[in-house]
Amino acid sequence: MPTHLGQNQYGKAENRVVRITRDGGTHHIKDLNVSVALSGDMDDVHLSGSNANVLPTDTTKNTVFAFAKEHGIESAEAFGIHLARHFVGSQEPIRRARIRIEEYGWERIPTAKEGDHSFVRTGQETRTTEISFDGEHWQVVSGLKDLVVMNSTDSEFWGFVKDKYTTLKEAHDRILATEVTARWRFNWTGDDQPQPQWEQAYADVRRQLLDAFAATYSLSLQQSLFAMGTRVMETRADVDEVRLSLPNKHHFLVDLEPFGLKNDNEVYLAADRPYGLIEGTVLRDGAEARIPVTD
């Protein structure tokens, strides 16, 4: 049966690099998980086994650690841009680089010790970014995952379609909780324009997502999703697309009547599965959707 080679890529995944910057007794931490994927003129290695165009994945790993020393890590985005430019610019067979990065946060522990170098790992969310470069065009998609949020009121769900299998009761005052996965695409196009202030941009988008979730009187999680994406677009001119994945972390009122107790929206069962999964993209008018639904 005739076959042909389709899209392909290779690289070194999940390079765990921690960079300590020492400013006297005050230290700063950047803790990244970096995955490199390269593609280009790679037919021969698949069809004949020739490695003539293959930069070893071990070399990509070494490059990540060397760049952490040589360039430092100002931000996940800036570090990924350095790597992508290097791989595409230094190896002729490599036509495209995709750098995916997860960043793990640390907070300082106040101590009586001299210096400022004690930290505790934060557990609120993981920061993400994906940089793609083909030698001419850039795409930067940043984001976060595992950010758990809850409104204990100001949420309803009623007026939905009902059929013979529907058992869910309408709710006019419910808990709304979700675990936010968000990705947002910057309209930065390359070196001919200044890069956004990546650290400030992340903090600002995160704040806008949280503010919109908290401020929206929600009749559905879909409504909250659109409000969150719209708030980012209204406040960040450098963002053209926001894609959100919001699992509904259901909280069901417990029936306490068998015990002679009234449950006035006070005691809930937190159910982890199955769960409703609400996903959607919010786009600036005139922009095209480029963040994949799945990858």
Q: What does the radius of gyration of the chain's CA atoms come to, in whole angstroms?
A: 23
Is 12 labeled as catalytic in the residue annotation?
yes
Is 86 labeled as catalytic in the residue annotation?
no
Is 129 labeled as catalytic in the residue annotation?
no
- Classified as helix, coil or strand, 290 is coil
Helix H or strand E encompassing 269: strand 268-270
CB-based contacts of 37, cutoff 8 Å, min separation 6: 9, 10, 11, 13, 97, 98, 99, 100
At 38, the amino acid letter reads L
Residue 62 to residue 115: CA distance in whole angstroms: 31
Catalytic residue among 12, 30, 61, 249: 12
Minimal CA–CA distance to 45: which of 31, 56, 33?
Answer: 56
Catalytic residue among 57, 59, 230, 281: 57
Tell me how far apart the terminal alpha carbons of the chain are, to the nearest angstrom: 28
Cis peptide before 247 (omega within 30 of 0): no
Catalytic residue among 82, 86, 249, 250: 250
Minimal CA–CA distance to 101: which of 124, 123, 73?
Answer: 73
- 125 contacts 144 by C-beta, under 8 angstroms: yes
- 157 contacts 173 by C-beta, under 8 angstroms: no
Q: Which residues are catalytic?
A: 12, 57, 250
